[in-house]
Each structure stands twice: as C-alpha cells, then as structure tokens.
Amino acid sequence: MPAAISGTDVVRADDVLTVLVPSTALVQAVEALSPRVRAFRFDPAEGVPTGDATQAQVLVPRGGGDLTDEVLAALPRLKLVQLMSAGAERFVGRLPEGVVLCNARGAHTPSTAEWAVTATLAAQRGIPDFVRAQDAGRWAPSTKRSLVGAKVLIVGAGDIGRRIGRMMAGFDPEITYVARTARDGVRSTDELPELLPDADVVVLIVPVTPETTGLVDAAFLAAMKDGALLVNAARGVVVDTDALLAELRTGRLRAALDVTEPEPLPRDHPLLALPQAPKHEVCPDTKLLDAIKSEKVSPFAALKNLKSE
C-alpha cells in the first residue's frame, strides 16, 4: 500500500472522479471537496451499481458491510476502497488486483474515545435507567456509581486507548493501561487475571487478531469484580457473547457496547432486552464525516488537490 495517495493516483488529470458512498450526507461532503468529484449513494442491499455509478474509481462501503464479487465485477474502473473503520481484516485479499485498500486508522480516534467516555459515564451514573423510568412515567430516585475515583482498566494502549485515558483523566480515576507487551506505564495482557478483580471499569479498545478474538471469555468475565462495567469499543468478536449474556442475566456485571457479535443484532436477540447492556452505537457516517472535514482520511484530503480545469 502506498505511503500516501494523491488524487491523480486514482483519476486522470482531465477526468472526473466518481465515488460511491453509503449515505446522502457523505455524498454532499465528498462532492464539496472538489468540483471534479461526483458522488453517488450506494447500498449493496439495493443491488449492484448501475448507470454512471459503475464508473466509480473510489468505493466507500458501509461500516460493517461487505463487498460481493458481483459488486466488484460491476466496477471495472475501481482503483481504491476506503473503509470507514480501522479494522480491515474482512477485506484483505478480497479485492481485485491493482485496487488499493485503505483503512481509517486514526480518523475515528476522537469520536471513538468520546463514545467510550460517554458510555462509561452514562452507565456509571445510571442514565439509561433514568431515561427508561421517565419514558414509563415513573419517579425512580436511586444512588448510582461514579467515574470519579474509579479504577479503570483500558485494554489497548494505542492511540485511541490513550485518548480515552486523557479524556477520563478529568474525573480523577485510577487508570491502568494493558497491551500485548508490557512497557513503561503499560501492563501486559498476561497480567489480566490479577488486574481484573480490582477494576471497576474495563474498557476494550484492541484490534482484531488471533490473540484478541474471544479474549473476553467466561474466565475473563468471571475474574471481574461484582458490579464492574465492561465497555466494548473494540470489535464484537473480542467478546464471547454467550459468556457475556450469562453474566448479564445474573446482574453480576454490566456492559456498554458499541459493537457486538453478531452485528447488527437480530431484533429478538437477548442482548437487546437486557438493561445492563445498553447498545450505544456511534454512526460510522458521522465518524467519517468528521474525518473528511478535518482531512484525517488521506485519500479524501488528497481529493482537494483535484482542481477544476
């Protein structure tokens, strides 16, 4: 993958750049980059691209979506696939030869960290409970937990994990970072069995690897203290859903989930019925819109160099 991508890497100097994106808001944001950019909303659920959309050189698939062979075959001029997520494992090796795959690493750091802190505060202060009580017309005063002074374990010490820690710091929690390899100020995942029993909040923000898939299993959850909060801002497959359900059903643990396995959850999935596991999903379109506006996604920032003739 090239270190940097310019607009002329995907479109000739005298050509119009055609981009497929998953929402109308993204159509407007991308077309605002240059008068030589034309965007179309595309949803694989509605079939393969047709008409002028088949001339697309850039494709942005919906977060959590997939690209079928039929969709790729309908795009003979495709040069670049820009993902809406940092994780690219589902697309590696799937694209035709010569098509560049770009993830959105770094683009979602502020919004993902903001979600993790918001979800933690909401769960600790019982906001979902109060909202449900208000919706039901009930006055339900109660004493809740706090982030102030809490012991927070952040599993994943990369850019997003560190940003979460900095955002939480104003509440004076005791933060411990955990990563695969121990280093200055970071504990090793091998130490999780001794760290988990003391943590009031466990935040997951790890990439998907063979080591992290199923990392949060029954033993991991059993090691967490009674009443602890699990915040998953990583990937659904990092957590064993059945093991989490078993703990949530007893009321021993709580959870706030940005991602799940499966995703999206079926309407009758038991996770949706558990008040201990509110699902606060951050809209990928919103994340990418913020990233485009701040020029944090390099292919889109490069499009601004496409001048009108």
Model confidence at 308, pLDDT cuts 50, 70, 90, reads very low
User: What pLDDT was estimated at residue 61?
Assistant: 87
Q: What are phi and psi of 28, to 5 degrees?
A: -65, -40
Q: Which residue has the higher pLDDT, 174 or 8?
A: 174
Question: What is the H or E stretch that residue 175 is in?
Answer: strand 174-179
pLDDT, mean over the chain: 86
- Is pLDDT at 1 greater than 50 in this prediction? no
109-278 shares the fold of 7-103+286-303: yes
CATH architecture of 109-278: 3-Layer(aba) Sandwich (3.40)
Q: Is the CB of residue 84 less than 8 Å from the CB of residue 101?
A: no
Q: What angle do CA 84, 88, 92 make, to 5 degrees?
A: 130
Strand partners, 231: 203, 256
Domain ranges (residues) in the chain: 7-103+286-303, 109-278
User: What pLDDT was estimated at residue 64?
Assistant: 57
Please give the Cα distance from 167 to 117 (Å, whole number). 7
126-155 in b/e burial notation, b at 16+ Cβ within 10 A? bebbbeeeeeeeeeeeeeebebeebbbbbb
CATH superfamily of 7-103+286-303: NAD(P)-binding Rossmann-like Domain (3.40.50.720)
- Is pLDDT at 285 greater than 60 in this prediction? no
Please give the Cα distance from 194 to 176 (Å, whole number). 12
Model confidence at 10, pLDDT cuts 50, 70, 90, reads low
Q: What angle do CA 212, 218, 222 make, to 5 degrees?
A: 115
Please give the Cα distance from 232 to 240 (Å, whole number). 12
Model confidence at 234, pLDDT cuts 50, 70, 90, reads very high
Identify each DSSP E strand in 22-67 by its residue range: 37-41, 58-59
Q: Which residue type does 268 have?
A: D
Name the percent of the chain lying above pLDDT 70: 83
Give tens-digit pLDDT for 131-187.
Answer: 889 999 999 988 899 999 999 999 999 999 999 999 999 999 999 999 999 999 999
- Is pLDDT at 189 greater than 90 in this prediction? yes
- Is pLDDT at 204 greater than 50 in this prediction? yes
Please give the Cα distance from 185 to 68 (Å, whole number). 44
Please give the Cα distance from 260 to 112 (Å, whole number). 15
Half-sphere exposure of 62 (CA within 13 A, CB side): 17
